[in-house]
Structure 1
Amino acid sequence: MADPQTPEGSRWNFSQSFLTNFQSSRSDLQTCIQQATQSGTASKQTLDSLNLQLAQLSKNIVDAAGSIPKFDQRNCESQLKEIEQSLERLRKASSPASKFAFKRKAREATQPPSNVSTASATGSVAPKSSLTLSSYTMKLVTPRDLPDPETIAPELRSELSIIDLDSCILNLLNVKQYEISALHVRDVKNSILLLPVLEGSIILHDLTNCVVVVSCHQFRMHSSQNIDVYLSIQSNPIIEHCSGIRFGPYPSAFTLENDQHVPGLAVQDFSHIKSTPSPHWCMLAEGAWKSSEDWQSILTLDAIDLERVLQQALPGV
């Protein structure tokens, strides 16, 4: 056993503690999914809770990268992937997701402002345990869909989880009342994400055919395909298990100070640890950048224009 007083010993102790906690949390989540699956379907509140637990486990793995052995990290990621598949099957059984075909859907007239339950048994509003947007299809999502800041504990207003969006435009450029500094994004496809300026990090998992606009201190993307990223960042972006990722500069239309139009962005691809250029990402050609008019049409669109804008703006359409 390594000497705990040495750096190697400290790393070993952290690794053992992390793996013990991870396996315990993973087992608990797996049991919850199995129980929900046995009942046939799960409520929206249950799915939200399961998604949040999964997002937290994923964040823990990302945060521990470099401090645990690569074999253990791959093993944890593999176990997490199996849970993701189980949860996806449960989600589809509970509320079948439509395929991306730009078929107009009726507006959700009875959908509450937020997909997180806040009412107690007595009808009073209780503080929420997290800030989350989840489970939207073919919708224009704006700050109005976030819960009232007063219903979120102050210490939890800085982290936002965005989970399970399909064919949506999400515009959160102006959410100053929440002081969001970190974002966790998972299971998003065929969508445009206009995200707030972050002093901290953004971690994205399992995105497909999307446009992402964000300014942040740290950017990490995992298991995603066919994504256009318009980015302002002070550090090097990180991608892993990704393909078809194109990076462009943060849009000047959004008047960000210290805008970075750096053509030689140094992206770290953890799936291509070689001296040769990574085949998984490239810089978006200047001629392919969206114009100020393009961004303005996205910012000012009405919900009825949603599918038209998606047809024009998404990478794979």
Structure 2
Amino acid sequence: MEEADEPNHETLDPALQKKHHDMLERLSARHQARKSDSSSSSSSSSTLESTSSFLTKFADSKRSIESRIAESRLVSSSSTDSSKLKSELAEISFSIDNLEKLLAENSYFLPSYEVRSSLKSVSDLKQSLDNLSGELVPKKKFSFKTKSSSKKPESIQKPDLVSPPKIPVRDSPGFRNKQGETLTKNFKDSSSIGEFTLSDLDSCQVRLKGTVNALFIHRLKNCYVYTGPVIGSILIDDVEDCVLVLASHQIRIHCAKKTDFYLRVRSRPIIEDSNGVRFAPYCLKYDGIEEDLKIADLEEETKNWANVDDFLWLRAVQSPNWSVLPEEERVSSVSISDDGDS
């Protein structure tokens, strides 16, 4: 049984490593400035200034994106230049991605309610862009064809302009590069951790208790992951033959194969480039989990675990890439209390 290891800087991309090195220097300078303040009230003021600065920047960006979406909708009614419209939507999508990145990078010091509110704003912007993109997809006119197509596409893919980016490896506390181990972490003992990463794990069992702002899961194979509630988002990339028991406000899954997800989630789970994934309700138990669910505002079962959106599937019938896990195959309850699993 191991506690979280320090980030392995040697495995990081040099550009990403430099970026995080600069960030750590800025954080260190900020920390020294706070220490020089003579009273605790000065420290509180500094934190409030950071939160206020984020909220101002977030609100300005949000208003700008909303304005561009509204303008694009007006222009689309009179413009016939579809390539120009698609280019504009691609730029809006990029702005939304940057806004979501801004939130992820600053979630460690934000109050929980601000994280939840900001996540909802990002989700609403994505939905508005999605709706607008759907309105701009040109309808094919009826025409006789002399040749029939030899191949029919199995599905219609969404344009790249709204495709979410591949999830980067995060330089945050976490478990990395482990095989065949049981890995445990209690976030109640580490209140300063805002983000946590699970990366490059093979045949491991991971047990996380307490709440954390964001969770990043990257390159897992044959693993069992049991986590307490995540206040913000869970981003998953490249998992295979795993079982994941997760609770969060937003869950995005990229490149998952033959994996079962037991979820409690406030918004609809999103999958992309995935197949053979199955979904069931959250079933985790440990001492204090009800209190943690309440802190994360996840005590209510929304049943969104069964309302999965396949990002690359637009046909009217349900995507074949995911299914509801049959009740007879589900695990009814998993306990990660000190007295063992069940």
TM-score between the two structures when normalised by the length of structure 1: 0.51
Kept in 1: contact 2:234–2:252 (CA 8 A): yes
1:1-317 matches, within 5 Å, as: 7=68, 12=88, 15=91, 70-71=159-160, 130-143=172-185, 149=190, 154=192, 157-174=193-210, 176=211, 180-251=212-283, 253-254=285-286, 256=290, 258=299, 260=301, 262=303, 265-292=306-333, 295-296=334-335
Q: Do the aligned partners of residues 264 and 140 (structure 1) sit closer, same or farther apart at CA in structure 2, a change above 3 Å counting?
A: closer
Aligned mates of 2:194, 2:313 — CA distance in 1: 33
Q: Do the aligned partners of residues 228 and 259 (structure 1) sit closer, same or farther apart at CA in structure 2, a change above 3 Å counting?
A: farther
Residue of structure 1 in register with 2:76 after alignment: none
Alpha-carbon shift at residue 7 of structure 1 (Å) = 0.9
Aligned mates of 1:249, 1:17 — CA distance in 2: 31
Structure possessing the higher radius of gyration over alpha carbons: 2
Q: Do the aligned partners of residues 284 and 170 (structure 1) sit closer, same or farther apart at CA in structure 2, a change above 3 Å counting?
A: same
Aligned mates of 2:329, 2:258 — CA distance in 1: 15
Kept in 2: contact 1:193–1:213 (CA 8 A): yes
Number of aligned residues = 200
Q: Do the aligned partners of residues 260 and 188 (structure 1) sit closer, same or farther apart at CA in structure 2, a change above 3 Å counting?
A: same
Describe the superposition over 1:120-153 as per-residue Cα deviations: whole angstroms up to 9, x where unpaired: xxxxxxxxx7322211100000017x9x849xxx
Kept in 2: contact 1:131–1:160 (CA 8 A): yes
Aligned mates of 2:165, 2:303 — CA distance in 1: 35
Describe the superposition over 1:164-197 as per-residue Cα deviations: whole angstroms up to 9, x where unpaired: 10000000024x5xxx111111100100000120
Q: Do the aligned partners of residues 73 and 249 (structure 1) sit closer, same or farther apart at CA in structure 2, a change above 3 Å counting?
A: closer
Instruction: Could you tell me which runs of 5 or more consecutive residues in structure 2 were left unpaired when the two chains were aligned.
Output: 1-63, 73-86, 99-121, 134-157, 294-298
Aligned CA RMSD, in angstroms, stands at 4.3
Describe the superposition over 1:225-263 as per-residue Cα deviations: whole angstroms up to 9, x where unpaired: 011111111211111111111111111645646353849
Q: Do the aligned partners of residues 12 and 193 (structure 1) sit closer, same or farther apart at CA in structure 2, a change above 3 Å counting?
A: same
Alpha-carbon shift at residue 17 of structure 1 (Å) = 11
Q: Do the aligned partners of residues 214 and 252 (structure 1) sit closer, same or farther apart at CA in structure 2, a change above 3 Å counting?
A: closer
Q: What SS does the aligned partner of 1:7 have?
A: helix
TM-score between the two structures when normalised by the length of structure 2: 0.48
Q: What SS does the aligned partner of 1:274 have?
A: coil
Aligned mates of 1:169, 1:190 — CA distance in 2: 9
